[in-house]
């Protein structure tokens, strides 16, 4: 310390150095990569009481784009409705919804979880609306998907990959 109680200039940090690098996430675009709705109930007919049971499966993929700090993240949803009594399929909805993201100031070891959790979380409200609209337009009551826990889904995906890798090394 200097004698007058002030911090010497060489010990003072510049505002740029003192401020932590805040992660930046910007959505550059969103799109439907693929979409399919099959109304099996109308095609084959279902007799008797109909009590739908809906199953939702979610998967994700991410890839680097040729432009610096840009990534494409695609979430894939398969929504299957079956009649509880006879297990006849009522409809199948498959949608792949993607986004192009600009991501800066994220450490390399945190990039993969960031891409697989935060990006799908940002896309989810748009997918939920599309699923509700498609099921309604397909002749069914609109299906409002429950919020997806992308953290749990990511952990499950990592555990599955670890188990597969362990199984391959044991063979």
Please write the tens of the pLDDT for every residue from 25-79. Answer: 999 999 999 999 999 887 776 666 778 899 999 999 999 999 999 999 999 999 9
Q: What is the pLDDT of residue 142?
A: 95
Tokens of 159: 């555990």
Q: Percentage helix, strand, coil, to 5, in the chain?
A: 35, 35, 30
Q: pLDDT confidence of 21, banded at 50, 70, 90?
A: confident
Over range 113-119, report the average pLDDT.
95
Tokens of 61: 């993929």
Q: pLDDT confidence of 167, banded at 50, 70, 90?
A: confident
Instruction: Kindly tell me if the per-residue pLDDT of 103 is higher than 90.
Output: yes
Over range 108-133, report the average pLDDT.
96
Instruction: Kindly tell me if the per-residue pLDDT of 163 is higher than 70.
Output: yes
The larger pLDDT score, comparing residue 24 to residue 21, is at 24
**Separation of alpha carbons 120 and 62, rounded Å:** 10
**Superfamily the domain 25-40+57-81+92-170 falls into:** SecB-like (3.10.420.10)
C-alpha distances (whole Å) from 129 to each of 28, 85, 111 are 20, 29, 28
Percent of the chain having pLDDT more than 70?
Answer: 84
Q: What is the pLDDT of residue 41?
A: 80
Q: What is the pLDDT of residue 171?
A: 46
Q: pLDDT confidence of 7, banded at 50, 70, 90?
A: low
Instruction: Kindly tell me if the per-residue pLDDT of 149 is higher than 60.
Output: yes
Spatial CA neighbour of 80 closest among 95, 68, 98: 95
Q: What is the pLDDT of residue 66?
A: 96
The b/e string for 58-79 (b: 16+ C-beta within 10 A; e otherwise) is: bebebeeeeeeeebbbbbbbeb
The larger pLDDT score, comparing residue 5 to residue 100, is at 100
């Amino acid at each position: 310390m200097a004698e007058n109680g002030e911090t010497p200039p060489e010990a003072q940090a510049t505002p740029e150095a003192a401020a932590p690098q805040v992660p930046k996430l910007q959505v550059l675009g969103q799109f439907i990569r693929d979409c399919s709705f099959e109304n099996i109930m109308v095609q084959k007919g279902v007799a008797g009481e109909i009590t739908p049971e809906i199953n939702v499966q979610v998967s994700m993929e991410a890839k680097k784009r040729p432009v610096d700090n840009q990534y494409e993240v695609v979430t894939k949803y398969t929504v299957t409705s079956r009649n509880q009594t006879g297990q006849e399929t009522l409809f199948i909805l498959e949608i792949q919804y993607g986004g192009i993201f600009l991501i800066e100031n994220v450490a390399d070891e945190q990039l993969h979880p960031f891409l697989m959790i935060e990006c799908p979380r940002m896309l989810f409200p748009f997918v939920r609306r599309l699923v509700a609209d498609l099921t309604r337009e397909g002749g069914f009551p609109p299906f409002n998907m429950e919020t997806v826990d992308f953290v749990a889904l990511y952990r499950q995906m990592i555990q599955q990959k670890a188990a597969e890798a362990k199984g391959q090394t044991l063979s």
